[in-house]
Amino acid sequence: MSAPEFTYDISRGFMPGHRACAGCGQASAVRLVMEIAAPDCVVINATGCLEVFSTPHPESAWSVPWIHSLFENVPSVASGVEAALKKQGKLDKVRVLAFGGDGATLDIGFGALSGMFERGHDILYVCMDNEAYMNTGVQRSGSTPYAASTTTSPAGRQSFGEDRPKKNLPAIAAAHGIPYVATASMSYFADLRRKVKKAINIRGAKYLQVHVPCPPGWGYDEKLTIEIGKLAVDSGLYPLVEWEDGEVTRVRKIKQVPVEDYLKTQRRFRHLFRSEEGKAQIAKIQGMADTDIKRYGLVD
């Protein structure tokens, strides 16, 4: 007897048939968020990987109301949707979700994001952080980690890659005093689910930054997405922290691993293992991880 056909219904929010790379961390994370938020929500999406792989007209992977406008105006478009729903008396029942990549969120949309936080709109903004402008070909963003090689911060004879540390947007978001800010990783999906559920039930502006590994951008075999995401968190390079009303209220403790274990898995850091200078940079990165581990109390 053959098994019943696979069915995909509206409550999933995000359907298969999208054109994400095999092994895409972002597709995984979006699915997890949407399974909690759908169907009573509206999604506003920035230009980027997610938008492009999910909506090549006439195909759409979204079963909830969804809009894409431009690259840097997601927080503002979401503010307009929220204001309209508020006026229509629907904001109690319908959640407003915004999705943007790290480029859209940390760089080009930074001003609009700050405005949205400052005005306190009832919106959950989810940043899919794959640490570069992936959709346009892996160019660096403000979120690209120190010493990573991207196409606009490449490792070369006179460069070790990205020479600036990662912009700490969660702390900036928290400084706005909004009710809830959290970092999460799609590799620790139970933790991610908990944070989404928590955020979605809070009224006011919420920011969730999800670390999502990218096989072509970071340079690794697509099956390793979960493993690599875990190493990022467990090395202290991606602290999983929650802020409420501007103060840190909870962190996820780690069983610390050396940053080398994380860096050596990806082509974007491979150059660090080929020279003395690279070794020195790895030590620097370890120092950065240790600082954050201490700052957030990630190790008992």
Partner 1 sequence: MTAAAKKERRKPPLGIVTRPGSSLRNKTGPWGIMRPVFDCEKCTGCNTCESICPEGCIRHLEKKVYEADTEFCKGCGMCAEACPSDAITMAEERR
Partner 2 sequence: MRKMIEGSMAVAEAVGLCRPDVISAYPITPQTHIVEELSQMVADGVIDAEYVRVESEHSAASVCLGAVAAGSRAYSATTSQGLLLMAEVLYNIAGMRLPLVITGVNRAVSAPLSIWNDHQDTLALRDTGWLQLYAENSQEVLDMHIQAYKISEDDRVLLPVMVCMDGFILTHTYETVDVPSPEEVDAFLPPYDPLYRLDPSDPYTLGAYAGPEMYQEVRYEIQRDALASKEVVKEVARDFQAAFGRWFGDVIESYRAEDADLVFVAMGSVVGTLKDWVDAQREKGEKVGLLKLRCFRPFPVEEVREALSKAKRVVVLEKAVAVGGHGIVTPEVQAALYGQAKTPPVTCAIAGLGGRDVTIETIDEIKQRAESGESEFFAGLRTELLEAS
Residues that bind partner 1 (CB under 8 A): 3-4, 6, 8, 10, 12, 14-20, 22-28, 31-32, 54-55, 57-64, 66, 186, 189, 221-227
Count of residues touching partner 2 (by CB under 8 A): 47
The three-class DSSP label of residue 68 is strand
Residue closer to partner 2 (CB basis): 200 or 288: 200
- Cα separation, 225 vs 233, in Å, equals 13
- The overall longest dimension of the chain from CA atoms, in Å, is 64
From partner 2, partner 1, none, interface partner of 111 (C-beta below 5 to 8 A by class): partner 2
Residue closer to partner 2 (CB basis): 27 or 282: 27
- Cα separation, 128 vs 139, in Å, equals 16
Short-list 196, 176, 174, CA closest to 185:
196
Q: Which two tokens stand for residue 165?
A: 């540390």
- Cα separation, 3 vs 18, in Å, equals 24
Question: Minimal distance in Å, beta carbon 122 to partner 2?
Answer: 12
118 touches partner 2 by CB under 8 A: yes
85 touches partner 2 by CB under 8 A: yes
Residue 243, φ and ψ in degrees, nearest 5: -115, 140
Given candidates 14, 26, 49, 73, which one binds partner 2 under the rule CB under 8 A?
Answer: 73
Q: Distances in Å between the alpha carbon of 79 and those of 117, 120, 252?
A: 10, 9, 31
Question: Minimal distance in Å, beta carbon 83 to partner 2?
Answer: 4
Half-sphere exposure of 55 (CA within 13 A, CB side): 17
Q: Which two tokens stand for residue 161?
A: 């890659």
- Cα separation, 9 vs 2, in Å, equals 21
From partner 2, partner 1, none, interface partner of 76 (C-beta below 5 to 8 A by class): partner 2
Residue closer to partner 1 (CB basis): 13 or 100: 13
256 touches partner 2 by CB under 8 A: no
Residue closer to partner 1 (CB basis): 6 or 158: 6
Which residues form the interface with partner 2 (CB under 8 A)?
10, 39-42, 44-45, 51-52, 55-60, 62-70, 72-73, 75-88, 94, 111-112, 114-115, 118-119
